[in-house]
Structure 1
Amino acid sequence: MNTGAEKIFESFGRQRVLIIGDVMLDSYVWGKVDRISPEAPVPVLSVLRREFRPGGAANVALNVRALGATPLICSLTGNDEAGRTFLSLFGEAGISTEGLIQSDNRPTTIKTRIIGHQQQLMRIDEESTANSSPEETRRLLDRIEQLLREQAISVIIFEDYDKGVITPELIGQVTARALEKKIPVVVDPKKRNFLAYRNCTLFKPNLKELREGLKTELHTGDPGAIIRAAGALQEKLDAELVMVTLSEAGILIRGKDIETIIPAHRRNITDVSGAGDTVVSVAALGLAAGLPPSEFTAIANLAGGLVCEKVGVVPIDREQLLAEVRNFYKED
Structure 2
Amino acid sequence: MKDLFNRFDGLNILIIGDVMMDSYLWGSVERISPEAPVPVISVKKKENRLGGAANVALNVQSLGATPLICSVIGTDSEGDSFLQLMEAQGLSSEGLIRLDSRPTTVKTRVIGHNQQMLRIDAETDDALMVPETQTLLSKVLEIMNKQKIDAIIFEDYDKGAITEELISSVVSEAKRRNIITVVDPKKRNFLSYKGVTLFKPNLKELREGLKVDVNTAKAGDLEKAAVNLREQLNSRMIMVTLSELGVFIMSENGQRIIPAHIRKIADVSGAGDTVIATASLCLAAGLDEFKTAAIANLAGGLVCEHVGVVSISKERLLKELDKAF
Q: TM over 0.5, yes or no? A: yes
Identity of aligned residues (%): 57
Asked if the contact 1:220/1:249 (under 8 Å) is kept, the reply is no
Per the TM alignment, residue 223 of structure 1 is displaced from its structure 2 partner at its CA by 5.3
Q: Give the counterpart of 2:309 among 301, 307, 313.
A: 313
Match in the other structure for 1:118? 114
Q: Distance in 2 between matches of 1:266 and 1:228?
A: 27
3-state secondary structure, aligned to 1:280: helix
3-state secondary structure, aligned to 2:40: strand
Q: Distance in 2 between matches of 1:40 and 1:92?
A: 40
Q: Distance in 2 between matches of 1:225 and 1:125?
A: 35
Match in the other structure for 1:7? 3
Structure 2 length as normaliser, TM-score?
0.99
Aligned length: 325
3-state secondary structure, aligned to 2:145: helix
Aligned: 1:239 with 2:239: no
Q: Distance in 2 between matches of 1:23 and 1:52?
A: 13
Q: How does 1:222-237 map to 2 (within 5 A)?
A: 222=218, 224-237=220-233
Match in the other structure for 1:79? 75
Aligned: 1:249 with 2:245: yes
Match in the other structure for 1:170? 166
Deviation readout 1:206-263 (Å, 9 max, x if unpaired): 0000000110111332352011101110011000000000000000000000200000
Superposition RMSD on alpha carbons, in Å? 0.7
Aligned: 1:151 with 2:150: no
Aligned: 1:47 with 2:58: no
Per the TM alignment, residue 134 of structure 1 is displaced from its structure 2 partner at its CA by 1.4
Q: Which runs of 5+ in 2 are unaligned?
A: none
Per the TM alignment, residue 201 of structure 1 is displaced from its structure 2 partner at its CA by 0.2
Asked if the contact 1:205/1:244 (under 8 Å) is kept, the reply is yes
3-state secondary structure, aligned to 2:220: helix
Q: Distance in 2 between matches of 1:245 and 1:118?
A: 25
3-state secondary structure, aligned to 2:72: strand
Structure 1 length as normaliser, TM-score?
0.97
Which AA in structure 1 matches 2:225?
A
Deviation readout 1:246-296 (Å, 9 max, x if unpaired): 000000000000200000000000000000000000000011011011111
Asked if the contact 1:12/1:68 (under 8 Å) is kept, the reply is yes
Q: How does 1:28-47 map to 2 (within 5 A)?
A: 28-47=24-43
Q: Which runs of 5+ in 1 are unaligned?
A: none
Asked if the contact 1:207/1:246 (under 8 Å) is kept, the reply is yes
Change (3 A) 1:150 1:223: farther
Q: Give the counterpart of 2:255 among 259, 274, 287.
A: 259
Match in the other structure for 1:203? 199
